[in-house]
């Protein structure tokens, strides 16, 4: 009986590594397949994200160009308005000096 148990033990030991090897191979290929699938999915997501970022970058570029144009128009308008205000200031100053001169000449006479 002892012999039978040792034979069954040997059979169990000798069959155990081969079973482990055969069961690990399908698990290994399944794992590789799963990993490949995950890597592919992630690369697709990254590619989509990069395309979306590129679109956003282009949108930002177009928006910033529009904003720069508006700023330039505002600058030109401000400079033009400043010139007009300077001219009006000079006219008021001339008028004020004329009035002062009139009062001074009247006081002298």
The pLDDT value recorded for residue 109 is 65
* Collapsed DSSP state (helix, strand, coil) of residue 68: helix
Residue that wins the pLDDT comparison between 16 and 41? 41
Rounded mean pLDDT, 49-58: 96
**How far is the C-alpha of 104 from the C-alpha of 38, rounded, in Å?**
95
The pLDDT value recorded for residue 108 is 77
Q: What is the pTM of this model?
A: 0.46
Q: How many residues does the chain have?
A: 109
**How far is the C-alpha of 101 from the C-alpha of 91, rounded, in Å?**
15
Q: How many CB atoms lie within 10 A of CB 67?
A: 10
The pLDDT value recorded for residue 24 is 53
């Amino acid at each position: 009986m002892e012999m039978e148990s040792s034979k069954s033990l040997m059979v169990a030991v000798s069959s155990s590594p081969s079973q482990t090897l055969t069961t690990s191979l399908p698990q290994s290929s399944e794992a590789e397949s799963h990993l490949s699938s995950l890597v592919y999915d992630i690369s697709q997501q990254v590619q989509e994200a990069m395309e979306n970022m590129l679109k956003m970058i282009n949108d930002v570029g177009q928006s910033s160009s529009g904003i720069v144009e508006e700023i330039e128009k505002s600058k030109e308008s401000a400079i033009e308005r400043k010139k007009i205000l300077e001219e009006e200031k000079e006219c008021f100053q001339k008028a004020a000096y004329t009035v002062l001169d009139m009062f001074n000449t009247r006081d002298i006479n």
